[in-house]
Amino acid sequence: MNTLEKIVHKIETLSVWTGKIASWVMVILMLVICFEVVMRYVFVKPTIWGYELSLMFGGSILLMLAYVQQRDANIRVGILYEKLSPKGKALVNVLGTVIFAYPCLVYVIIGAYQYMIRAFVMNEKMAESFWYPPAAPFRTMVFLATCLAALQFTASLIRNLHTVIKGEPL
């Protein structure tokens, strides 16, 4: 295994583990929402933290983006894509990554970074309820999740470029 393959493998391993962690966060989200629904409608005693906590855990679904990219499970126009050769598919993936994914990711990363820094500097609180938890951990998670997605897109780009240039998968 050459150096490039090792780097791509490490990035993809990180994406898989991030996806596994995020899937457990989704289980926690489901439990929090179920608890809040029972407290609100059965006992008529809603919590002050349930809604905001579900927003935070729900936002954690961004951690799945790197995993989805690693599994090549993005949405495509399958009618056209499926008829292409492996080299053709790789070329479409390269163009899609460079033209669409990277500009979007750069935009979101810059915005997420600015929001994260502001949350730390201003000691920002989330104000959806009367709980007022700090916003910085959530904003940091959004920034890191987007950076992990960009890293995985880069690993996928390397794999696809290899297929386009060499005609065989990395």
Confidence of residue 168 (pLDDT cuts 50, 70, 90): confident
Distance of alpha carbon 100 from alpha carbon 79, whole angstroms = 20
The stretch 30-59 carries a mean pLDDT of 91
Domain spans of the chain? 3-166
The overall average pLDDT reported for the chain is 91
Helix 50-59 × helix 136-166 angle, to 10°: 20
The stretch 43-47 carries a mean pLDDT of 93
Instruction: Examine the pLDDT at 61 and tell me if it is beyond 70.
Output: yes
Instruction: Examine the pLDDT at 1 and tell me if it is beyond 70.
Output: no
The pTM for the full model equals 0.86
Q: What is the pLDDT of residue 102?
A: 96
Query: What is the 3-state composition of the chain as percent helix, strand, coil, each rounded to the nearest 5?
Result: 80, 0, 20
Answer with the residue of higher pLDDT: 35 or 82. Answer: 35
